[in-house]
């Protein structure tokens, strides 16, 4: 992998991790275009995912630091309750990641046809959340947090956007736009790091075996971090303005292209 390919794929990862268009699906599409092998693609995916996690922490640092201070005051305050909701939302994806991820990948695979179908489902979810007008709630409840977590667990399928599906679920449940966007981004930090750690334990991460030059990994990491930070800020503004319908159109177009290309 050249540094230019790493730059392009890193930017794709950083943008699509936060924009509701599926980062895993676009990395698979990018891997197909650049002809990357499975191990090479997996190693690079772990590196760029680490970059986007770091960008999330940097962009949402005021919220993260406030939650830490409130949580470690060891009082049942609103910060501790918010952390509890995030932990509750992580239960489904942790169960799927620990016990069923390999089974799901073996059952469904990760080819372009699956990616295309899941992008179409993402488009439908975004469209439903745009046109639905539920009664707004003042805060995300524990039940809603768990339901959003269930949706995140389903997003292990490549092409089903994690941010798109969780934000759409939160909006359909009647939660405020900016709040559900920040909740969606915060709830994924530990699962992404956990998935990368499990892949490394299973031997999924090996820079030497993948044959990717160190400079390409560094370029990919930095590209994912910078583009991820920009996309995170942009996405929060877009969600607060209720303009997710445009991403529904994009996911529909990209999904149809992926399905048609896979069948040719």
Q: What is the pLDDT of residues 95-137, one digit of tens each?
A: 887 777 666 666 555 577 888 888 899 999 999 888 887 778 8
| Ranges of the chain with pLDDT below 70 | 23-24, 27, 30-42, 101-110, 195-211
Tell me how far apart the alpha carbons of residues 155 and 66 are, in angstroms, rounded to a whole number.
28
pLDDT the model gives residue 154: 86
pTM (predicted TM-score): 0.79
pLDDT the model gives residue 95: 85
pLDDT the model gives residue 225: 93
pLDDT the model gives residue 161: 84
Phi and psi, residue 19, nearest 5° = -70, 145
| Residue 84 CA: distances (Å) to CA of 71, 88, 119 | 9, 6, 31
pLDDT the model gives residue 208: 57
Tell me how far apart the alpha carbons of residues 80 and 103 are, in angstroms, rounded to a whole number.
35
Other Cβ atoms within 10 Å of 113 Cβ, number: 16
Tell me how far apart the alpha carbons of residues 11 and 5 are, in angstroms, rounded to a whole number.
10
Tell me how far apart the alpha carbons of residues 10 and 20 are, in angstroms, rounded to a whole number.
17
Matching residue, tokens 């209720």: 242
Nearest-10 Cα torsion for 232, 147, 73, 60: 0
pLDDT the model gives residue 38: 47
pLDDT the model gives residue 232: 87
Whether the CB-CB separation of 159 and 21 falls below 8 Å is answered with no
Tell me how far apart the alpha carbons of residues 173 and 39 are, in angstroms, rounded to a whole number.
39
pLDDT the model gives residue 239: 83
Count up the domains in the chain and report the number.
1
Whether the CB-CB separation of 146 and 89 falls below 8 Å is answered with yes
Whether the CB-CB separation of 196 and 157 falls below 8 Å is answered with no
Q: Which domain holds residue 113?
A: 3-263
Dihedral sign of CA atoms 162, 168, 174, 178 in order: positive
Tell me how far apart the alpha carbons of residues 210 and 37 are, in angstroms, rounded to a whole number.
8
């Amino acid at each position: 992998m050249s540094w230019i390919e790493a730059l392009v794929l890193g930017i794709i990862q950083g943008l699509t991790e936060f924009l509701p268009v599926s980062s895993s699906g676009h990395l698979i599409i990018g891997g197909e275009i650049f002809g990357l092998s499975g191990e090479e693609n997996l190693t690079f995916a772990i590196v760029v995912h680490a970059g986007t996690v770091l960008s999330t922490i940097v962009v949402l640092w005021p919220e993260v630091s406030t939650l830490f201070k409130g949580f470690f005051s060891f009082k049942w305050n609103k910060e501790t309750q918010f952390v509890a909701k995030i932990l509750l939302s992580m239960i489904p994806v942790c169960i799927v990641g620990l016990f069923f991820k390999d089974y799901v990948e073996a059952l469904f695979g990760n080819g372009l046809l699956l990616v295309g179908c899941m992008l179409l489902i993402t488009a439908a979810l975004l469209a439903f959340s745009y046109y639905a007008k539920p009664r707004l709630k003042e805060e995300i409840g524990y039940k809603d947090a768990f339901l959003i977590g269930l949706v995140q667990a389903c997003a292990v399928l490549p092409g089903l956007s994690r941010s798109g599906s969780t934000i759409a679920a939160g909006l359909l449940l009647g939660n405020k736009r900016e709040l559900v966007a920040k909740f969606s981004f915060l709830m994924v930090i530990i699962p992404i790091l956990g998935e990368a750690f499990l892949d490394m334990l299973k031997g999924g991460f090996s820079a030497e075996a993948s044959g990717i030059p160190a400079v390409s990994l560094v370029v990919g990491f930095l590209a994912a971090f910078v583009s991820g930070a920009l996309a995170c800020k942009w996405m929060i503004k877009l969600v607060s303005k209720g303009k997710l319908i445009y991403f529904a159109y994009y996911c529909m177009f990209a999904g149809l292209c992926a399905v048609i290309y896979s069948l040719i």
